[in-house]
A and B are shown apart, each in its own frame.
Chain A
Amino acid sequence: MKFPCFGCHKAESCNGCHAKCGGVDSKPQKILLVGNPNVGKSAVFSRLTGVHAISSNFPGTTISFTQGNLRHEGQNYVLIDVPGTYTLNPTNEAEEVAKRIIMGDSDIVVIVLDAGALERNLYLALQVLELGGKTIVALNMVDEARHKGIEINIKALEEALGVPVVPTVAIAGRGIKELVSRLKEAKKSHIKPQSDEDRWKTIGNIIMKVQKAHHRHHTAKDRLEDITINPFWGALVGVAVIAASFFAIRRIGEGIINYILDPFFSSFVLPLLESISKSMNQEGIIHSLLLGSLINGSLDFEQSFGLFTTGIYVPIVMVLPYIVAFYTVLSLLEDSGYLPRLAVLFDSLMHRVGLHGFAIVPNLLGLGCNVPGVLATRVLESPRERFIASTLISIAIPCTSLQAMIFGALGGFGGKYVAIVYGSLAVTWIILGRILNILLPGYSPELIIEIPPYRLPSLRGIGLKLWFRVKGFLFEAIPLVMFGVLLVNLLYISGAMNLISNFLAPFFNTVLGLPASTAGPIILGLLRKDVAVGMLLPLNLTSQEMVISVVMLSMTFPCIATFIVLFKELGFKKMMLSLSIMLVTAILSGATLRLLFLLA
């Protein structure tokens, strides 16, 4: 492929106009950022390119590569943020991705090292240097290492590795300029391929030459780190952190709805829509598509179900505030470094369902949106674990959109009913996990994870990450919700919805005790769960019917986005298996709930 010259935009190597455009080399160079998990590759990447890559304080945040551009002294670079790996002999899917990229072609490799754990980091570094490509080293987190009493002789390290070494503190942006200006000094190392044993010997020699460690006393941070990993205090802190998180999410979400968005919509948007409705004589197909039907003689954001009433109100007013709230809290947990501690606390429980402690991370991410949750299962080691985790997430982990609607639909009946829904999902998660663990062949690998030191999350980091995720919701979810609302109306108007309902009526009536009208919404959960719950609102269901419908909706077919990602991650066969499990689980749970309600 020919790249256009950035001076003259010609796709050929522009010998003729080099004089005019200042000697621009037309071909961008490909740079790989490689290193162990959680050494700050994504932070370096963001600083270099201005493209935001999600970085968190736990190993395995980057599970697929991110790409960005950089221009320096007339040279264009394409940067690739490679998932973290400890070795070029991969032990999980994310490391497999990393290996493929590193072994592929590139012009320059930037190895990012954690100055505080140099010895361990050098293993991958040597493996990469032995490949013989042009390389430069960013010695990151030198500030943290210094606090721990570790001093590294940069000159000596450069000599030992045979490539330039630049000290950096990527989170604060320090050393990045020097790194950029020295990119062109990247060169081949003198280090030759060697056996595993020899490599560790080489590392031992390098460490002796370049690193000095001073003894240092325990600090308050060390004590906090020890306490949160202690069986008793750690569990207590864990419970407190989880409770505080849920409380904060509800308060922030409700706050935004009650004090900002809902007042705005009722006092500005509603009158506008009302007057448009009047000008259309409050009737006609266009009216019902755009604004929906009148509830008690006027438009209702939650129940009218028009494109510009419910179609906008649900994603922006009912769901978005909780998305903001959830991701604010999650980002704090991610960046502080608390999540790996949670993995240690939950390890025993997770083993019961065929997973290990770190699977708590994909499950937590799933509470925001099932898509990143399923993607994050890539950090788990075996296909078996990935299948169990993906299936559990898509069945029993309600995403924020769904949760917001669960509160919206059932909050009015009382907190008890919300609790029944959450309880059913939790019980299903555990029972289904147990069953899968017993039935599926194979065993689950053990947890082994580095526990990062606590770090104070930076406002900039949290803000960027929040914006990144909210933007994802705005651009992906809102169009889909509006499309869903439109589709639902068309299905009703064309009479197709009646056909579906009548066809499924006997089953819904006898097994689940639900009116036929709930069949449509539950089927349409396939598109987006929040739209589907929105469809239940105008049906005047009793509290028990609503609980059963919502539980069914949460468990059956994943929304279309999750569906696609399940297919990509699991493949057709396993996805079909997962979907069958889903259908059976949902029907059994619905029927069981009905039975319990009848008995109670």
Chain B
Amino acid sequence: MSAKLHLLKNGQKAKIVSLPPGLCGRRIEALGLRPGKIIEKVSGMPFRGPITISLDGRQIAIGHGMSERIIIKPLDKGEKL
């Protein structure tokens, strides 16, 4: 089952499935956020504010609009990474 990044709950882990095409995707990829990577949502700001995720021990903040275009597969608790 896939979902979009902004729908993740705080502390939930997910695998990146696909990025938006074009420049937007390139900006995301440049930060090391690519399909297949495992991320964890750290927090989200209210009023459609940015989503902060943790990737390889680094935090990255992603604008809300952009996070709606990142397709992910949530990982249930206990699932092997």
**A residues bordering B, Cβ < 8 Å?**
86-87, 89, 91, 116-117, 119-120, 123, 148, 150, 200, 213, 225-226, 229-231, 234, 340, 343-345, 347-348, 351, 356-357, 381, 445-451
CA A344 to CA B24, docked complex, whole Å: 18
* Residues in B41-72 with C-beta less than 8 Å from chain A: 42-50, 52, 56-66
Does chain A have a CB within 8 A of B77? no
**Chain B residues positioned under 8 Å from A86 (CB to CB):** 30-31
**Chain A residues positioned under 8 Å from B61 (CB to CB):** 229, 340, 343-344, 347, 357, 447-449, 451
Contact (Cβ within 8 A) B50 A347: yes
CA A213 to CA B42, docked complex, whole Å: 21
Does chain A have a CB within 8 A of B28? yes
Q: Given A148-B57, A446-B66, decide whether A451 and B30 contact each other with a Cβ distance below 8 A.
A: no
**Chain A residues positioned under 8 Å from B52 (CB to CB):** 229, 344, 451
Does chain A have a CB within 8 A of B27? yes
14 new A-B contacts, CB < 8 A, other than A119-B56, A231-B49, A451-B61, are: A89-B26, A225-B59, A229-B42, A229-B61, A231-B43, A231-B45, A344-B50, A348-B45, A348-B47, A348-B48, A447-B50, A447-B63, A448-B61, A451-B52
CA A226 to CA B28, docked complex, whole Å: 21
Contact (Cβ within 8 A) B43 A226: yes
CA A148 to CA B58, docked complex, whole Å: 10
Does chain A have a CB within 8 A of B1? no
**Chain B residues positioned under 8 Å from A119 (CB to CB):** 32, 56
Contact (Cβ within 8 A) A450 B27: no
What is the distance, in angstroms, from A338's C-beta to the closest C-beta of chain B? Answer: 13
What is the distance, in angstroms, from A452's C-beta to the closest C-beta of chain B? Answer: 8
Contact (Cβ within 8 A) B27 A120: no
Which of these, A87, A150, A230, contacts B26 with CB under 8 Å?
A87
**Chain B residues positioned under 8 Å from A351 (CB to CB):** 48
CA A381 to CA B44, docked complex, whole Å: 23
What is the distance, in angstroms, from A496's C-beta to the closest C-beta of chain B? Answer: 52
**Chain A residues positioned under 8 Å from B45 (CB to CB):** 231, 234, 344-345, 347-348
Q: Given A120-B32, A347-B50, decide whether A446 and B57 contact each other with a Cβ distance below 8 A.
A: no
What is the distance, in angstroms, from B31's C-beta to the closest C-beta of chain A? Answer: 6
Which of these, B32, B50, B63, contacts A117 with CB under 8 Å?
B32
**Chain B residues positioned under 8 Å from A150 (CB to CB):** 57
**Chain B residues positioned under 8 Å from A230 (CB to CB):** 43
Contact (Cβ within 8 A) A448 B63: yes
Which of these, B28, B32, B65, contacts A123 with CB under 8 Å?
B32
**Chain A residues positioned under 8 Å from B23 (CB to CB):** 91
CA A449 to CA B64, docked complex, whole Å: 12
Contact (Cβ within 8 A) A448 B28: yes
The 7 closest A-B pairs by CB, nearest first: A446-B63, A120-B32, A86-B30, A446-B66, A451-B59, A447-B63, A348-B47
Question: Which one of A89, A344, A356 has the highest number of Cβ atoms from chain B below 10 Å of its Cβ?
Answer: A344
Does chain A have a CB within 8 A of B4? no
CA A226 to CA B59, docked complex, whole Å: 9
Which of these, B26, B31, B59, B65, contacts A120 with CB under 8 Å?
B31
Which of these, A123, A340, A446, contacts B64 with CB under 8 Å?
A446
Closest to B57 in A: A148
Closest to A89 in B: B26
What is the distance, in angstroms, from A263's C-beta to the closest C-beta of chain B? Answer: 47
**Chain B residues positioned under 8 Å from A123 (CB to CB):** 30, 32
What is the distance, in angstroms, from B24's C-beta to the closest C-beta of chain A? Answer: 7
**Chain A residues positioned under 8 Å from B32 (CB to CB):** 117, 119-120, 123
**Chain A residues positioned under 8 Å from B73 (CB to CB):** none
What is the distance, in angstroms, from B39's C-beta to the closest C-beta of chain A? Answer: 13
Contact (Cβ within 8 A) B24 A200: no
Contact (Cβ within 8 A) A448 B34: no
**Chain B residues positioned under 8 Å from A449 (CB to CB):** 60-61
Contact (Cβ within 8 A) B34 A200: yes
Closest to A204 in B: B36
Q: Given A120-B32, A123-B30, A448-B31, decide whether A347 and B49 contact each other with a Cβ distance below 8 A.
A: yes
Q: Given A89-B26, A230-B43, A231-B43, decide whether A347 and B63 contact each other with a Cβ distance below 8 A.
A: yes
**Chain A residues positioned under 8 Å from B26 (CB to CB):** 87, 89, 91
Q: Given A86-B30, A91-B26, A446-B24, decide whether A344 and B42 contact each other with a Cβ distance below 8 A.
A: no
CA A123 to CA B27, docked complex, whole Å: 13
Which of these, A91, A348, A448, contacts B66 with CB under 8 Å?
A448
Contact (Cβ within 8 A) B43 A229: yes
What is the distance, in angstroms, from A38's C-beta to the closest C-beta of chain B? Answer: 11
What is the distance, in angstroms, from A232's C-beta to the closest C-beta of chain B? Answer: 9
What is the distance, in angstroms, from B61's C-beta to the closest C-beta of chain A? Answer: 5
Contact (Cβ within 8 A) B50 A450: no
**Chain A residues positioned under 8 Å from B46 (CB to CB):** 231, 348
Per-residue CB contact flags for chain B residues 1-37 toward chain A (1 = under 8 Å, else 0) read: 0000000000000000000000110111011101000
Can you spell out 29 A-B residue pairs with CB atoms less than 8 angstroms apart?
A: A87-B30, A117-B32, A117-B58, A120-B30, A120-B31, A120-B32, A120-B56, A123-B32, A226-B43, A229-B42, A231-B43, A231-B46, A340-B61, A344-B45, A344-B49, A344-B50, A344-B52, A344-B61, A345-B45, A347-B50, A347-B63, A347-B64, A356-B63, A445-B63, A446-B64, A446-B66, A447-B63, A448-B27, A450-B58
**Chain A residues positioned under 8 Å from B31 (CB to CB):** 86, 120, 448, 450
What is the distance, in angstroms, from B21's C-beta to the closest C-beta of chain A? Answer: 13
Question: Which one of A117, A120, A150, A213 has the highest number of Cβ atoms from chain B below 10 Å of its Cβ?
Answer: A120
Q: Given A87-B26, A123-B32, A357-B50, decide whether A448 and B43 contact each other with a Cβ distance below 8 A.
A: no
CA A592 to CA B58, docked complex, whole Å: 48
**Chain B residues positioned under 8 Å from A200 (CB to CB):** 34
Closest to A86 in B: B30
What is the distance, in angstroms, from B70's C-beta to the closest C-beta of chain A? Answer: 10
